[in-house]
Structure 1
């Protein structure tokens, strides 16, 4: 059974493997070579990285293959097994210390003087983290992401700034709070993600940037909607859209309305969900009176169609979902492996709902193959959703073969 500690250990181990330039198959092969046995498989490596199991006797061989101190791996394994005296060797395990409840970010009264160039440099780092998230998973990025947010908060707290510079720094802390929260959520660290989002919301509000505050709050609403807090997700998504108001750039309002649609979908409220989808498309069609924020660079007609298709799939309307997902996937860059895995997972479910189990099984194999090498709790969860959906068709040979090969994932 996985828990927060074993998942964190799995993320840590996966990050070490990728840092060594190894696939799961390659690491299994090297462990067999190092130990002189043939008893480690890719599936076992996958179980370690998903937090299903914690390696014991394999730790010295892992240290050898990954070129890290054996003592570091022992400490990490002890942490995963619940030893409160042990710590996971990552830059930070929590963001709660950055901004305790009720505390405001305040600049220092002495120290380095900051100006527009420092704001621009921080903006560049925030955007670089966004672009990295396009092609890397949360487990791979969580360490650098934490460091960036810590650095930005420390910079603001320990410097002398003008009002304009202080406002600019707060905006960048808000943007970092959003992307760091998204990365932490993808890595399965929901508590850390919520702390990051709250830092971002507070910073954006202090800066007076209501559109940014709405973006961060909407991201937190999305997390709540996907993790059992559906009523709260609806309330926060709607509040975020209202906070941004009608003066927000059309692309931002389209994004906020998409999140409202998803929140209603997860709450099993189809009519409000469909209305919000229609409003999102209307917003994106409007002529922009103000420039779109940099953080909205990825929002376009195709992304709205993906959300349309996800909503249609959740509402069991596969005849509308399948054509949309098929078209969008045909245009999507293969370097975006996480998004490919996520979108194919909805296609697999929609195909199953459309009584096309053979095609659904084919998509399920693609989802599992794509998600196997990703340190993303989102893709791992979606793979389990797809396999569970296919159980209805286990008498179909293609489905039976997929479930025999990958059904163990449902036990994690």
Structure 2
């Protein structure tokens, strides 16, 4: 990682300067820097030197799932870091923290509207500025906790944007840093949410066992908050992991636990960072879990209901649910029905780019080509190809 940072920042950076004591670690072969790494190299360096990004796997900048497992156990077994007042520097105005917190909410909604590629640069800029305030300002314990909560939320958002953009290695680093900042902020639910994002990353990459370890850890670590919005989300994501493992009974139990936590929640609004969690989001996740189990009819019912409940909101989630419906219908021989929802998904992809949606559309494009000579299949194939070309050139 030090080599990549040095190359992208055009300045000498040693492993020891990022993580003291790591200078003698084995150095892996050269790695190529992706375009997003070029954008985020400096902020990774800032997070490292500020102590939010702890040493992982000898300093390698690659996706190493063992690192997230270690971080999860560390989060579960250790008490929160007790933040003390910070002296030195200009006093931090509490209103600045309020503005920063509101700004994170704005960035999340911008991502809903425009996607990761639009928001990433803005989020990185805000994160760097906030890190600078944490390092150079003076603040009391209460304001310090609030400031580190903002740092955690911003870093989690950057990780999520990287994940949605297909940059799994970078997403991992940002999630790890966000988890550490959440511990400093003494925010247990936020930490669990970040762990669930790591777990979802493993769901998307097909490593169900690792996903289960992370998601179960998050559930265990929040057992005292059994009636909360976050717990409903955690169980919903846990169901996806069980489904990938083919454990139908455990999947159904997790879905039931999610429904129970949602129905009995005491925090009716939930934390600001999970504003998007509602009945439609949980139902859509349940539908996808059932699809992973091969329960197509039940999955189709849930996904159709979720789409009706979402209306015009959550463009990215709607595009993903539509592609799931297309998978179900084309696998069942309903080419017309599959083509209809694919065209809707293509229209949404033109509004908000998502690597996840693109990957699913690529698989569907292959599926539709098996029905050459059928007009609607050829129309769907052509629409998918044109949309993927536009997304790739954008």
Once residues 149 and 248 of structure 1 are traced to their aligned partners in structure 2, the CA distance between those partners, rounded to angstroms, is 32
Once residues 248 and 174 of structure 1 are traced to their aligned partners in structure 2, the CA distance between those partners, rounded to angstroms, is 23
Residue-by-residue CA offset, 1:276-328 (whole Å, 9 max, x unaligned): 11110011011416862111222111111111111122222221122222233
Aligned to 2:188: 210
After superposition, the Cα gap between the structure-2 partners of 1:86 and 1:197, relative to the gap in structure 1 and judged at 3 Å, is closer
Contact 2:227 2:264 in 1 (8 A): no
Q: Secondary structure at the match of 2:224?
A: coil
Aligned to 2:107: 129
Once residues 314 and 391 of structure 1 are traced to their aligned partners in structure 2, the CA distance between those partners, rounded to angstroms, is 23
Aligned to 1:241: 219
Within 5 Å, give how 1:29-108 maps onto structure 2: 92-93=40-41, 95-100=43-48, 101-102=53-54
Aligned to 1:260: 238
Once residues 272 and 296 of structure 2 are traced to their aligned partners in structure 1, the CA distance between those partners, rounded to angstroms, is 34
After superposition, the Cα gap between the structure-2 partners of 1:406 and 1:237, relative to the gap in structure 1 and judged at 3 Å, is same
Aligned to 2:159: 181
In structure 1, which of residues 129, 146, 161 is the aligned counterpart of residue 139 of structure 2?
Answer: 161
Once residues 227 and 125 of structure 2 are traced to their aligned partners in structure 1, the CA distance between those partners, rounded to angstroms, is 30
Once residues 144 and 191 of structure 1 are traced to their aligned partners in structure 2, the CA distance between those partners, rounded to angstroms, is 20
Per-residue deviation, 1:219: 0.7
Task: Say if 2:338 is the partner of 1:363.
Answer: no
Once residues 388 and 87 of structure 1 are traced to their aligned partners in structure 2, the CA distance between those partners, rounded to angstroms, is 28
After superposition, the Cα gap between the structure-2 partners of 1:341 and 1:112, relative to the gap in structure 1 and judged at 3 Å, is same
Query: Structure 1 unaligned runs (5+)?
Result: 1-81
Per-residue deviation, 1:353: 3.2
Aligned to 2:299: 321
Per-residue deviation, 1:87: 8.1
Aligned to 2:58: none
Task: Please say which of residues 91-100 and 274-283 is displaced more in the overlay.
Answer: 91-100
Aligned to 1:276: 254
Residue-by-residue CA offset, 1:323-361 (whole Å, 9 max, x unaligned): 222233234343643222111111111222333121112
After superposition, the Cα gap between the structure-2 partners of 1:96 and 1:228, relative to the gap in structure 1 and judged at 3 Å, is farther
Once residues 375 and 35 of structure 2 are traced to their aligned partners in structure 1, the CA distance between those partners, rounded to angstroms, is 47
Once residues 86 and 375 of structure 2 are traced to their aligned partners in structure 1, the CA distance between those partners, rounded to angstroms, is 67
After superposition, the Cα gap between the structure-2 partners of 1:183 and 1:83, relative to the gap in structure 1 and judged at 3 Å, is closer
The TM-score normalised by the length of structure 2 is 0.75
Aligned to 1:232: 210
After superposition, the Cα gap between the structure-2 partners of 1:96 and 1:85, relative to the gap in structure 1 and judged at 3 Å, is closer
Task: Say if 2:139 is the partner of 1:191.
Answer: no
Within 5 Å, give how 1:293-304 maps onto structure 2: 293-304=271-282
Query: Structure 2 unaligned runs (5+)?
Result: 1-29, 56-80
Task: Please say which of residues 398-407 and 104-113 is displaced more in the overlay.
Answer: 104-113
Corresponding pairs, count: 330
Contact 1:316 1:350 in 2 (8 A): no
Once residues 110 and 392 of structure 1 are traced to their aligned partners in structure 2, the CA distance between those partners, rounded to angstroms, is 67
Q: Secondary structure at the match of 2:178?
A: helix
Once residues 248 and 43 of structure 2 are traced to their aligned partners in structure 1, the CA distance between those partners, rounded to angstroms, is 36
Contact 1:177 1:216 in 2 (8 A): no
Once residues 83 and 178 of structure 1 are traced to their aligned partners in structure 2, the CA distance between those partners, rounded to angstroms, is 24
Residue-by-residue CA offset, 1:115-157 (whole Å, 9 max, x unaligned): 4323212211111112212212111111111112222222111
In structure 2, which of residues 109, 113, 116 is the aligned counterpart of residue 138 of structure 1?
Answer: 116
Once residues 198 and 156 of structure 2 are traced to their aligned partners in structure 1, the CA distance between those partners, rounded to angstroms, is 9
Contact 1:225 1:233 in 2 (8 A): yes
